Amino acid sequence: MRTRPLKVALLGCGVVGSEVARIMTTHADDLAARIGAPVELAGVAVRRPSKVREGIDPALITTDATALVQRGDIDVVVEVIGGIEPARTLITTAFENGASVVSANKALLAEDGAALHAAAEQYGRDLYYEAAVAGAIPLVRPLRESLAGDKVNRVLGIVNGTTNFILDKMDTSGAGYSEALDEATALGYAEADPTADVEGFDAAAKAAILAGIAFHTRVKIGDVHREGITEVTAADIASARRMGCTVKLLAICERAADGASVTARVHPAMIPLSHPLASVREAYNAVFVEAEAAGQLMFYGPGAGGSPTASAVLGDLVAVCRNKLGEATGPGESAYTRLPVSPMGEVVTRYHISLDVADKPGVLAQVATVFAEQGVSIDTVRQQGKDGEASLVVVTHRAPDAALSGTVEALRKLDTVRGVASIMRVEGE
């Protein structure tokens, strides 16, 4: 074993960063044995140096992250500060000064991953980011390495623990969205500002990363169709239950049947209770990967939190350190297919549409005519009503999303339709 330690700089010492530092200290001997050399925490960049950080030598604390990554003796930079800047500049500066990088920054990777990979390749460094997607669940490396010889056609999963907790509580307890969000906040699953989670931005960033790796093409967060869960109601949950379904926020990345394009989307969807994703409870994540040779693979586990995310960071740290010792680098970006990302309107989906309609003869015929004119086939219809008012629930067969959206707009123009109570896609069948 080499006795000279590999030096690690830590950017950020919040929930994840502090746990990374703790594990590096408490598991130092095991990490050294697995790597083939000791690892040494050489500096920790923070914004608030006065805060007490148990187990971390105060002499390592600095507010000058730029000077830390420019030192020249740093072997690996661990970036867990998040956001676009200054993280992007710090990572590229680290590459320029001889360090490889381990990052948990999904937003930056989804926005500017191609440039970061290009910088890593230019300077001969590693860029690893297992922790950017689904916490402790090994997902990036299996896609990037274990399935490198296979053809992945679809990635489908729950990649945000906060929204899964909220939807699970709405389903199991009958709570409304606001009540479930309050509980998620009280338990620490939701941030004080939950927008990134509940509006689907977090899941969309992860979907962009997964689609890029799975399909060997460049997918940015702006390419991902995104819908959050703020409009999901208790009535939607009840409708799903009547259909033998539950509601989940899904990230879905697919290769087109002809192989000429890909799609990436995040939105709430009804899935059958028989589907394995339906049983994913609380704040857990689960992802299905469908490949030609391997078939269906499912990855399941805690998708967030200090310890699970730190576990993924440390796994990458070990791999990058081993590469350093062997004077090698791991896999970089693979974007050789250059497949275009199709817009959501071209995606073939199913809809569950709940309408408030007048309770009188001929309404169903009018509604059916609209579907026929838009080229959308109806699977099932359920109608209930009294005292001049009624509800009509229509589940469609699969059709281009643009046709389904056009159908909804045409339905809104009918005099007999009082309003569209809810619209939700149906997946997993």
CB 130 within 8 A of CB 139: yes
Tracing tokens 């073939």 back to the chain, one arrives at 348
d(CA 409, CA 338): 35
Is residue 206 flagged as an active site residue?
yes
The residues, any chain, with a CB within 8 Å of residue 224's CB and separated by 6 or more, are: 204, 205, 207, 208, 211, 264, 265, 266
Characterize 202-217 residue by residue with b for buried, 16 or more Cβ atoms within 10 angstroms of its Cβ, and e for exposed.
bbbbbbbbbbbbbbbb
Kindly name the residue from 7, 206, 220, 248 that is annotated as catalytic.
206
**Rounded distance between C-alpha atoms, residue 193 and residue 282, angstroms:** 20
3-state secondary structure of 161: helix
- Of 95, 101, 87, 90, nearest to 124 by C-alpha is 95
Cβ neighbours for 215, distance < 8 A, ≥ 6 positions apart: 152, 253, 255, 262, 337, 339
Residues 6+ apart with CB under 8 A from 294: 147, 150
CB 80 within 8 A of CB 56: no
Q: Which amino acid is present at 238?
A: A
* Total Cβ atoms within 10 A of residue 70: 16
For tokens 């050489």, what's the residue?
A: 42
Q: Give burial (CB, 10 Å; 0-12/13-18/19+) of 239.
A: buried
User: Beta-strand (E) ranges in 75-178?
Assistant: 76-79, 100-103, 127-128, 152-158
Q: Which helix (H) or strand (E) holds 110?
A: helix 106-123
Q: Which residues are catalytic?
A: 206
